[in-house]
Amino acid sequence: MTVTEMSTTKDQLRDEVLAVCRALGARGYGGVIGGHVSARIPGEDRYWTNVLDRAFEEMTVDDIVLMDFDGNVVDGGRGVSPGIDFHQGIYQRRPDLHAVVHTHGFWITAQSAFARPPLMWHNLCTYFYGRTAVAPDDSLESIAAAMGDEDVAIVIPWHGAITAGRDLGEATALHATFEYTSRLDVTLAGTGAEPMPEESCLKMRALVESANYLKLTYDLILRGGELATDAADPAKAGLAAVVR
């Protein structure tokens, strides 16, 4: 890969982080300060992420900064969340993961008060069956360390949750699915309803993974971001389309 090609790839990844932030805002994860999206640059100990002082739906390209694995902003010169360090912690612990999404979505935050993985109330919940860690607290050191070799999500008790994936599409679609899973858990836990039997969970997980659900969900999320962008400013129409 040439230097020019590498630069183009970095810019495309930055733009995808921006598109995801805007799309998450459009889905109701915005409106507040807090939450971060990141994408690791292939072959480097660096990643793009968003600044702290803007809600997801407000983000522009100037609000996406480059971080190194020592927690330094190396391009952008803007302030990031003091809780950003678990991103590089996850990347260092799990080289197979290249994107992380953390929000304080309402249902995700509510479910985190159970301080346990969500129960299996629907077939889509099984994406997280046996793959959800629980951090002992919300200290930076404990969050990344909680993630096991197969985990795709971490519950941070009384705080929120993280999803991680092989790319931004996977991490983002998993996050939306985790919000749905959390809503079911908060709504049904303690009602007398019975979650899916343990012996059915792995079989159902294999079934949902055989579908193209996560890719289709990511496309849906990006379309929502495009519609919101078009409604807010027609000059920015098509922002999300560039990352497909």
3-state secondary structure of 198: helix
Structural domain boundaries, residue 65: 3-243
- Nearest CA to 68 among 48, 51, 46, 49? 46
Q: What is the pTM of this model?
A: 0.90
Dihedral sign (CA 155, 35, 163, 139): negative
Please, what's the b/e burial string for 128-163 (b: 16 or more CB within 10 A of its CB; e: otherwise)?
bbebbbbbeeeebeebbbbbeeebbbbbbbebbbbb
Tokens for 148? 């096991």
The CATH number given to whatever domain includes residue 31 is 3.40.225.10
Place of tokens 């509510």: 110
Work out the widest C-alpha separation in the chain, in whole angstroms: 60
Number of domain units in the chain:
1
Query: For 153-195, how does the pLDDT look when each residue is reduced to its tens digit (9 = 90+)?
Result: 999 999 999 999 999 999 999 999 999 999 999 999 999 999 9
Query: For 115-138, how does the pLDDT look when each residue is reduced to its tens digit (9 = 90+)?
Result: 999 999 999 999 999 999 999 988
